[in-house]
């Protein structure tokens, strides 16, 4: 939570469980392949429709957890996402 955020504002910006799964899949794919996955690759790995993955990507972008450029492989995690993921390292 940022110093100027209320607990509710911080909660609203946390990813949903499905969005967190997509976020982790991006990190895992990039680590294994040296590049970001396409939306279709994420959809295939997650067993979701391409449109559903696109909605999760858009929600993560709106929550400032990723930056997305037109090129489908240009999806970058923000500092907020890295910090959020860091809170859960070693859990589960």
**Which pLDDT tens digit goes with each residue over 18-36?**
999 998 898 889 889 988 8
**Tokens 């110093």 found at:** 3
Distance CA(43)–CA(87), nearest Å, equals: 26
Give the H/E segment covering residue 77. strand 75-77
Cβ(23)–Cβ(81) under 8 Å?
A: yes
36 within some domain? yes
Q: Model confidence at 3, in pLDDT bands (50, 70, 90)?
A: low
The count of domains in the chain is 1
Q: Check pLDDT > 90 for residue 47.
A: yes
Is 2 inside a domain boundary?
A: no
Which two three-digit tokens encode residue 31? 């680590």
- 16 is in which domain, residue-wise? 8-86
CATH of the domain at 23: 1.10.10.10
Q: Is 53 in contact with 22 (CB distance < 8 Å)? A: yes
Residue 92 lies in a domain: no
Name the residue with higher pLDDT: 61 or 52.
Answer: 52
In the predicted structure, residue 64 carries a pLDDT above the cut 50: yes
Examine the pLDDT at 91 and tell me if it is beyond 50.
Answer: no
């Amino acid at each position: 939570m940022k110093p100027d955020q209320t607990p509710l504002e911080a909660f609203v910006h946390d990813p949903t469980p499905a969005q967190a799964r997509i976020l982790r899949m991006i990190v895992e794919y990039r680590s294994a392949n040296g590049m970001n996955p396409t939306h279709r690759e994420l959809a295939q790995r997650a067993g979701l429709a391409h449109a559903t993955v696109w909605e999760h990507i858009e929600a993560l972008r709106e929550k400032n957890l990723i930056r997305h450029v037109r090129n489908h492989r240009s999806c970058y995690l923000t500092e907020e996402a890295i910090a959020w993921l860091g809170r859960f390292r070693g859990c589960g």
